[in-house]
Amino acid sequence: MAGTVRVLKHAIQENQSFIVVLNKIDRLILELKLPPGDAYFKIRSVLDEINEVLASTAHGSAPLRVSPELGNVCFMSTMIGFSFTLLSFARMYEEFYGMSEKHSKAMLA
């Protein structure tokens, strides 16, 4: 979206850090009925588009990048009422299954 591109470029010009929030994640499953692999590729496609904008705005400095592994992508559903990052999901998984922190960090690697 043009508005999103403008906001990203402005944040970069102002040296602001940012987090990408992917809202309406529930729609991938409930409305579009996408299988997990297709939902992954849809999300990956959106993040790749954002990373293209970030790379084109870098102007000689190291290009910025958004990725769930870097902790700057948040998944959310306002309708259902959840939000998580990869790290927060790993911590929840760790607590639920009684795993050690060492194992949950290995899941993120």
The full set of domains in the chain, from first to last, is 2-108 (3.40.50.300)
The alpha-helical segments, DSSP class H, found in the chain are: 2-13, 26-30, 36-56, 86-97, 101-108
Q: Which amino acid is at 76?
A: M
pTM of the prediction? 0.79
Nearest 5°: phi and psi at 63?
-65, 140
- Give the Cα separation of 78 and 39 in Å (integer): 18
- Give the Cα separation of 91 and 93 in Å (integer): 5
Say which residue, 62 or 96, is predicted with more confidence: 96
Q: Which residues pair with 77 in a beta bridge?
A: 82
pLDDT tier, 16 (very low <50, low <70, confident <90, very high otherwise): confident
Nearest to 19 by CA among 30, 33, 8: 8
What pLDDT digit, counting tens, does each position of 50-70 carry? Answer: 999 888 886 666 668 999 999
